[in-house]
Amino acid sequence: MDEIKTINISKPFLDQKPGTSGLRKSTKRFQEDHYLEIFIESTLQAFTEVKGSTIILGGDGRFGNKRAIAKIINICAAHRVGKVIVGKDGLLSTPAASNLIRINNAIAGIILSASHNPGGKDGDFGVKVNVSNGGPAPEVLTNKIFQISQSLISYKLCEVGITDLSNCGLSSINGMGLEIIDGVEEYTSLMEKIFDFDKISDFLKTDFSIIFDAMNAVTGPYAQKIFVEKIGLSQKALMNCKPLADFGNLHP
């Protein structure tokens, strides 16, 4: 087993009240020492049975995404979470995370996104918390997270280097399972159950044309998989489908 540390800070952060779409602050605020860690510690303490549970984790690829994921994995390991499931390359859209929460009977999902807010070093960062039904955390839970954060001056950490999120597979950290999965594949399977891809393909190839602009955000890989590989559209139907840390200065 790896050593679990308790990290102490001098005073609590008093501005960690989540809104309906989670906690959104400037990237610089989230980059401050201990800021993200205290919010995640508060979140895990707000759930009654974290030990042995499953948590879904991923984000929209904005600046700080992978660094934040590594920290969250280490905090989850210190709390004896049973398994953390992470999207490949740290990427996971909010609806894809919702699906993974439900099919894996996860206790929660932690989604690193500030939605349409600009990204990059001078942009914004955010943490959304979803619950076991796949939906956003209700106000009773977000209030509890905030209440805990108001007096929290320490957090637990199992300090293990997390460097590679690009290879799918299962590993172990402090007895906790860490599974990297292709979140795009899982979400595409869900969409195929809901929509008739063959009919959509016929329509788009004969009666209607589209251009899908992912604005260099997390939807790019999903668009590539669904519109090009599954529905059969030309690559020319897609624009800006490579996720970038600053979204290429676009506004997803």
Catalytically annotated residues: 115
Phi, psi for 171 (deg, rounded to 5) = -135, -175
Contact between 160 and 172 under an 8 Å Cβ cutoff? The reply is: no
Look at the alpha carbons of 194, 97, 102, 172 in this order and tell me if their dihedral is positive or negative. Answer: positive
Dihedral of the alpha carbons of 89, 224, 200, 250, in degrees to the nearest 10: 90
Phi, psi of 50 (to 5 degrees): -80, -40
